[in-house]
Structure 1
């Protein structure tokens, strides 16, 4: 018997507008009181479940026009309307029981599979090598032995959506290992989901009606394309654009158990009589290659008719120095080309000129090892093409100068601390990395404040005010980044005691940094300060 349906059952933990907490089915997104946020036990589950909900609505009940999109943005549909649209998909979204089962291999047999503990379903669990080498310092073994169905479902979708390299034949996600996601936030959970659903004005983002349509969208309803041999990759022509929401690179089969006494989940603490302690896995699942495009992820465009490459999560992936490229693309003269996520590209056409909030999240991966889950928010200003081009050029200049100031500050720190400038010494990379991140974090609030001021005349269509304001903002920005570089240099190179022999080297590095930084700001930002010693 099949159990635990991810569309019809009330399993998703949410926070309500009245402060209450409950569990809803996806079709209850528009219920009263309104769900305003997910209430999940892990941050990676939170990002993944937002993607799950966007995928459900995009697949099952997308808007067919901008008018439709605006109508349900202003007046959400009744829950019964959502249920009616999702009901035909109910049979394909069971988690447990007889296959086909959600995100699980259709044909994997007990003889083929390798049975492993359920902890392996979590991206941040220590891998086999870490266990053998006893290097599970930060993420310990043995912490996860039993999951409730809710957490198992969340972990399963998270793994399939963000899967990193997992060893020979264990494929990465459709977007590669550890992709970055950017979602437009709303005031309610429905608004957040609906903001990111694309207008399906053509068949590209509508559920296909052909006999093979279901299998082209939901890969667990058909046999996996075993990818052990050459020529067996899963290409866009083998699927449908909607498949991007439901990519399934890993061959997995959950093993559920029923106990007389409820057993506590090792993630959320909920006690249930149905638990998942193990799963069966097998390598050589769907091997995604080619020009797949996930609507919630930004991409690098390598040009030369090469397929786009998804932007990956990184420690500075949510910092403001990534803001321009992720949300607007890079300046025209940039050597690199970034394509903002499709959900971001459509926002400008569907919203007023009010500031939107963008959630940015993803795993910072080092091949098979997750370094950290990165998550943050960025402001987004809906702009016309001409306005966005002006923003790209001006703010692109600010960021370019800031990055050169930061880089020169790090060089000065190395010159000050090491007699050979760190060329032959094993420099403290942790120190330099911390200084680099501190530069971005300490200048972030000023950056966003200046951008907000720059955008105001852009949105009003006032070129006179814009031209008058730009030099002032450039000087304020130059002052901020110059002062921050000097403070960080002092913290890293001038702190503590140093000998009379070291002093000339330290202050020589400081004066050289000042000359370069001030000269750069004068040349690029017109500050009027041509450098020189303090």
Structure 2
């Protein structure tokens, strides 16, 4: 494998284009072959990036390349690989033997992630590669969130931006195609202590990976741009490699010239112009299954359809409310529900116990898109608790109930906070972000309550305790009380009855919140016992509830 300058060949598989934090605190550009160890014996900790994704596009490329070129045959092979990173020499041989490197050069005979057929299109600025770069309409409305027009981009940054455009491509105007997992798809990355552990944690076994496509192995099938397709590739006529290497956008870069990268400030070869055309491959996201993306299951007329979760559909502020769906499933396989990414499912069911990790951190990332418009990013890293498969069903049921009950309180807090501060007729003019922030703050401030609760329930079940015995009820009651008090406190922090023109409106809103906190519906959702009256379960406005709410109001 050739050495040369850091940008030489501009090859995704062999070039040193990956800016990486090493274990000695230094930052260095490395090649794919060095993600386990560098040639100087340093350990890469994580990959870095200069785009708004913070390096997630580069990380996804690494996962896709390793998934395709060295998937583990068995779970034992995966476990061995987790604790034994490959040397640069070994990984270099694997790359060479794959025969794929010649197809991944940015300016080669088959330019990577590009379509030479658009060479006759009019040239436009390289800034069109960037998802957050504004269009003319956005500029005219002064809605630019990127903040600058980029005219010259260095080779590593072009490689990153081009790949990100292809894998996250949002829906747009006529002929603007999206990725196999939709426009602005949500990704969940399992994080390890090193870059290699992170990459390897997100790799599926060979049989499971190949089953996501038609199992073709020839380069012309594996690499979509060798024979650029403009039809609708499906898993029945294309291999699973398209999930990481698809090219829904038809793009061609101009040849590099000397200059200064306006992103990094580094002198060297830069790209200034690109050409683009519409009507690339039309991937149907309900047919493909991306291993890093969580999915919805919708059931209509008895038929279950699986659709990828998108960044634009995520609630404002990723938090423990997303425990269900990002880490654990909801609903059975043949019914409607949500399910985590395939890699997360594999970790939860087997790999967590195999690696003896009590918790695992998951990085959530997506571009938040509204059709062609990119509004921003969704990004968060959260710890998730390892639960033995023997008690996972009981644990998941309890967590699901708690999340649903807390979600009801979050919605009520949001609604009543707005009603207390604004006249109902004026609510439609209140910015959506205001209500979103109320809910986001609530979930953030209740997270320290949920984490120890989850661990106590896990330990109780693992120790042989029943999911419905008094110990669990006591834990649920304590959590419900603490979460309810948090809702009341946040309402009082935002709403001051003495600073409003309508005190009655504040009193009524607070009373409604209290009735919800202590009412039967929320208690029932949490899994708590509800007082019976005359042999029937009370409503949320039982005498006991009214008494408790009255005490809180006074």
TM-score (norm 1): 0.89
Aligned equivalent of 1:445: 448
Partner secondary structure for residue 123 of structure 2: strand
The separation in 2 between residues aligned to 1:126 and 1:425, in whole angstroms, is 27
C-alpha distance in 2, partners of 1:483/1:335? 36
For 1:62-81, what per-residue CA distance to the aligned partner results, in whole angstroms no more than 9, with x for missing partners? 11111111111122222211
Q: Secondary structure at the match of 1:44?
A: coil
Taking structure 1 as reference, are residues 168 and 476 closer, same or farther at Cα in structure 2, changes over 3 Å only?
same
2:434 equivalent to 1:431: yes
CA shift for structure 1 position 236: 2.0
Partner of 1:478: 480
- CA separation in 2, counterparts of 1:372 and 1:28? 32
User: Structure 2: 5+ residue runs without aligned partners?
Assistant: 1-7, 531-543
CA offsets, 1:295-346, max 9 Å, x none?
1111111134454211111353622111222111125699841121111111
**Residue 221 of structure 1 corresponds to which residue in structure 2?**
226
**Matched residue, 1:99:** 109
- List aligned pairs for 1:87-486, cutoff 5 A: 87=96, 88-96=99-107, 98-105=108-115, 107-111=116-120, 113-131=121-139, 133-142=140-149, 144-201=150-207, 204=210, 213-225=218-230, 232-259=231-258, 263-272=259-268, 274-289=269-284, 290-303=286-299, 304-305=302-303, 307-313=305-311, 314-316=314-316, 318-330=318-330, 336-347=336-347, 348-352=349-353, 353-354=356-357, 355-419=359-423, 421-422=424-425, 426-458=429-461, 460-463=462-465, 467-486=469-488
- Of 405-414 and 238-247, the range deviating more from structure 2: 405-414
In structure 2, relative to structure 1, the CA distance for the partners of 1:363 and 1:114 (3 Å cut) is same
Alpha-carbon distance, 1:407 to partner: 1.5
Q: Kindly indicate whether residue 20 of structure 2 is the aligned counterpart of residue 19 of structure 1.
A: no
Shift of 1:454: 1.8
Deviations 1:481-529, CA, capped at 9 Å, x for gaps: 2122212222333266234xx2222112212221222114444443886
Change (3 A) 1:422 1:489: farther
| Residues 493/198 of structure 1: CA separation in 2 closer, same or farther (3 Å cut) | same
Q: 1:300 to 1:523 in 2, by over 3 A?
A: closer
- Cα distance in 1 for residues equivalent to 2:387 and 2:290: 23
Aligned with 1:287: secondary structure? coil
Output one character per residue of 1:166-199: Cα deviation in whole Å (capped at 9) or x when no partner: 3211111221111111111111100100111111
CA contact (8 A) 1:205 1:242 kept: no
Unaligned runs of 5+ in 1: 226-231
State the 1:114 CA deviation: 3.3
User: In structure 2, how many angstroms separate the alpha carbons of the residues matched to 1:376 and 1:118?
Assistant: 29
Q: Are residues 1:515 and 2:515 paired? A: yes
Give the Cα separation in 2 of the matches to 1:109 and 1:333. 43
What is the aligned length? 513
Distance 1:189 1:49 in 2: 12
Is the contact between residue 94 and residue 101 of structure 1 (CA under 8 Å) also seen in structure 2?
A: yes
Mapped contact 1:45–1:155 kept (Cα < 8 A): no
Task: Provide the C-alpha distance between the structure 2 equivalents of 1:206 and 1:307, rounded to a whole number of angstroms.
Answer: 16
Secondary structure at 2:289's aligned position in 1? coil
CA distance in 2, matches of 1:333, 1:285: 33
**Measured at CA, do residues 70 and 337 of structure 1 come closer, stay the same or move farther in structure 2, by a change above 3 Å?**
same
State the TM-score, normalizing by the size of structure 2. Answer: 0.86
Aligned residue in 1 for 2:539: none
- Per the TM alignment, residue 465 of structure 1 is displaced from its structure 2 partner at its CA by 9.0
Give RMSD over aligned pairs.
2.6
Following the alignment from structure 2 to structure 1, what is the Cα–Cα distance between the partners of residues 496 and 92?
65
